[in-house]
Chains A and B, each alone.
Chain A
Amino acid sequence: MSTVLPRPDNRDFSHYLTPAPEDRVRMDFVVDGIHCAACAARIERAFAQEPELSVARVNLTEKRLTVEWNDAKQVDPPQVLARLEALGFTGYPFRVAEREASEKAEEQRLIRALGVAGFAMMNIMLLSVSVWSGNETGLSREARDFFHWISALIALPTAAYSGRPFFDSAIRSLKARAVNMDVPISLGILLALGISVWETTHSGEHAYFDGAVMLIFFLLIGRVLDQMMMRKTRAVASNLAALRAETVTRILPDGTLKEVAAATVEPGQLVLVRPGERIGVDGLIERGTSDIDQSLVTGETAHQAVQPGMDVHAGTMNLSGTLEIRVRHAAASTLLARIEALLAHATEKRAGYVRLADRAARAYAPVVHTAAALTFIGWMLWGLSWQSALLISVTVLIITCPCALGLAIPAVQVVASGAMFRRSILLHAGDALERLAEVDTVVFDKTGTLTLPEPVIANRKEIPDRLLTIAGRLALSSRHPLAVAIAKAGGADNPFRDVRETPGQGLEAEDSRVKIRLGSPAFCGAEAEAKAVSLAYPEASLIAMRCETDVAVFAIRQPLRADARATIEMLKGLGLSVEILSGDREIPVASVAKTLGIEHWQASIEPGGKVARLEELRAQGRKVLMVGDGINDAPALAAAHVSISPVSATDLAQAQADLLVMGASLAPVADAIRIARKARRLMTQNLWLAVIYNAIAVPIAIAGLATPFVAAIAMSGSSLIVTTNAMRARFAEGNS
């Protein structure tokens, strides 16, 4: 193939390969840059010409490409990557996480259950309508019984199959000695079926098979939509993880290098980290000295010098020297062990939250059950036979069976999480919406959250363009993140030849007999100038350059997110109080707090200190939203009432966060709160609608007038009303 690009091929892809039927080998890629069907078709058409591939299919929803090689001998992932690159896309090897696979299976199960319930509902309704109209026009008793028997024959197996999700959840909840919404739902279904069978065997007039199956069908729609939305969200999140390409370079015992997936590295193995690379493992430095940027781990923006014998953590950035690192077991590292202990503690505390739906169910179940019991006693006293009294009291339970109540919250959740998805917010947990709506305090981490992860030149205006261009050209020769920032600002694309790099010091080059240096102020003899700049930009890292007698000092720092100030103001406008808790030094934190107009801030805080502050706020009765990205934020994210991470966050932080925000903007944080508040309002409205419905329906049922026909109308009507109301969560624009 002529389009293959040169690429070091020491990468190990075995981690990503999975066996497929007929000896084929399958591999998935996340493809960056697929936007439309035409892209997908272009990729598929290109791969169709490859004889060794038996399948190449793009999934446009998930933005992934699946290929299958005919047999193991032909497996060649680098060629697939090169081919994608030639087409203008970037591919990343991807392994479907077990959790995602099991979620997919769950979704399929729900859709199947929905299909079965839909089939059953249509057929039973066909029979029911005949019975209802027949009851008016003189349908013979035999024919009615016959119809009821057929309905039972369809409804009972359907309920056993399609009702499983509700029954399982109800049993789980009862085992935990709690009542959730599925308990009254299951009870309603079982009672409706039970009484219908009894009526049928006694050739009675009223059978509720249609109502029971309709209930299952409507509620399943809610579950399926919820599951689909969640899966879409998770697929995006795991694609982003793959885009970060967590690979590390292993040093094999024989000294050769191999690039492998970070997940496959085992304790005791040796890995190589070059300057400018992110360290992918926790371990001990065995050889080499360097500076590392720990901002993702501790929030500290000042760089730390490291040498053999020191611990380094996954997520830190290696800046100046090449390091050889012996991988340690994650828990063995002191910092991580401490954070994990904090995490376990924090997660335990949060488990106490009870969802709105379950709270509603707890209030609702006793009332309805008491009403049913009173109905039974009342009719007995009136002089009815116990069978008839029981029949009426059971219809009370059936008609109040929370069809609307069961949909009231999931429907809003689905619509609201869709609205969030369109605003680049990924919702991890459904009940996070409710918690987010209750928030009255927002606590921000600084580094990587209020600021962007990539550094830029802060004193750009004070530096002559000529010097910046020269510095940029020189900086092209280094992978040091500060050099990358200078190169980007300089807009240079032609590096000098013969650049010498002094590790930990800087770069030197010669251009028409002029010596140019770029590096630490000492390396360039620019200490005096550096002192002046550091007074103006106390929180920035300094890089100097010297070109003959011309000297410039660059102050480089992580910039605030462009809309940080506007977002903070918006949050305050929503009536929230805002705080900063940072692991960084006091000076940079103070300057950020001042710029953003945040009065409360604390600097140099340990992970445990963040959790302690959150608990203090909780003790004051505050509901706190924590926004953070670092490993040091993870315990605080878990301890807060609800939490948000930017997608640039570490895996540990993302795993704890309830929501993820994509992109460089901070505004989605405010959007998320607004949408959540609106959603919460709609949920409450829906619950009240359900209550009103019951207030009308229950007296009818108590009076003994609730026929299966009335039940069917009431159920579908109330479901339609709450679903329509839920749709309003789509429109959460402007101030609400």
Chain B
Amino acid sequence: MNILVILIPMALAMGALGLGAFLWSIKSRQFEDIEGASWRVILDDDDLPDEAKR
């Protein structure tokens, strides 16, 4: 049972990491233009303007 002392914090840490990533993605406005984002992925264009600028 002692293994729990390691496993549970590990599980929690991984969950928290996911949550952190999610909150970060909201903060960086990734949910503002859901339609556009879905297309940006497949647009065959390496030099999309704002990647170059930011």
Contacts and interface: CB of A to CB of B under 8 A. Distances in A.
A111 B24 CA distance: 12
Given A55-B50, A143-B4, A60 B19 contact: no
Given A47-B49, A58-B36, A37 B15 contact: no
Contacts of A15: none
B6 interface: no
B53 A55 contact: yes
Interface in B4-54: 4, 8, 11-12, 15-16, 18-19, 22-23, 26, 31-36, 39-40, 43, 45, 47-50, 52-54
A143 B1 contact: yes
A133 to B, nearest CB: 14
Interface string A36-71: 111011001101100000111111111000000000
Contact of A54 (B11, B12, B26, B53): B53
Interface in A52-94: 54-62
Contacts of A143: 1, 4
Nearest to B36: A60
B9 to A, nearest CB: 9
A310 interface: no
A48 B53 contact: yes
A140 interface: yes
Nearest to A46: B49
Contact of B39 (A36, A115, A119, A140): A36
A703 interface: no
B8 to A, nearest CB: 6
B47 to A, nearest CB: 8
Residue of B33, B36, B50 most packed against chain A (CB within 10 A)? B36
A97 to B, nearest CB: 16
A119 B53 contact: no
Contact of A37 (B32, B39, B54): B39
A120 to B, nearest CB: 8
A150 B8 CA distance: 9
A44 B49 contact: yes
Contact of B23 (A115, A126, A150): A115
Interface string A109-133: 0011001101100110011000000
A108 interface: yes
B1 to A, nearest CB: 6
A61 B33 contact: yes
Nearest to B21: A115
A115 B26 contact: yes
Contacts of A112: 23, 26
Contact of A115 (B1, B19, B35): B19
Contact of A40 (B8, B32, B36, B54): B36
A119 B15 CA distance: 6
B48 A41 contact: yes
Nearest to B40: A37
Given A61-B35, A115-B22, A56 B11 contact: no
B1 A59 contact: no
Nearest to A64: B33
Interface residues of A, number: 35
B11 A126 contact: yes
B39 A123 contact: no
B11 to A, nearest CB: 6
A275 B16 CA distance: 64
Nearest to A40: B36
A116 B39 contact: no
Given A111-B26, A119-B15, A140-B1, A40 B39 contact: yes
Nearest to A49: B49
B27 to A, nearest CB: 9
A143 B16 CA distance: 23
A62 B29 CA distance: 14
A59 B39 contact: no
Nearest to A140: B1
A122 B15 contact: yes
B51 to A, nearest CB: 10
B50 A57 contact: yes
B36 A59 contact: yes
A149 to B, nearest CB: 11
Nearest to A50: B49
Contacts of A115: 19, 22-23, 26
B43 A37 contact: yes
Interface in A601-628: none
Contact of B36 (A55, A61, A104, A108): A61
A119 B50 contact: no
Contacts of B19: 115-116, 118-119
A60 B39 contact: yes
A340 B39 CA distance: 46
B49 A48 contact: yes
Given A112-B26, A115-B22, A115-B26, A61 B40 contact: no
Given A36-B39, A44-B50, A60 B33 contact: yes
Interface in A367-395: none
A59 B32 contact: yes
Nearest to A58: B36
Interface string A131-169: 000000000100100100010001000000000000000
Given A57-B50, A115-B19, 13 more contacts: A44-B49, A44-B50, A48-B52, A55-B53, A56-B50, A57-B49, A59-B36, A60-B35, A115-B26, A119-B16, A122-B15, A143-B4, A146-B4
24 contacts: A37-B36, A37-B39, A44-B49, A45-B45, A48-B49, A55-B50, A55-B53, A56-B49, A57-B50, A59-B32, A60-B33, A60-B35, A61-B33, A61-B35, A111-B26, A112-B23, A112-B26, A115-B22, A115-B23, A122-B15, A123-B11, A127-B8, A143-B4, A150-B12
A-B residue pairs, 6 tightest by C-beta:
A37-B39, A48-B49, A60-B36, A119-B19, A44-B49, A59-B33
Interface of A: 36-38, 40-41, 44-45, 47-48, 54-62, 104, 108, 111-112, 115-116, 118-119, 122-123, 126-127, 140, 143, 146, 150, 154
Interface of B: 1, 4, 8, 11-12, 15-16, 18-19, 22-23, 26, 31-36, 39-40, 43, 45, 47-50, 52-54
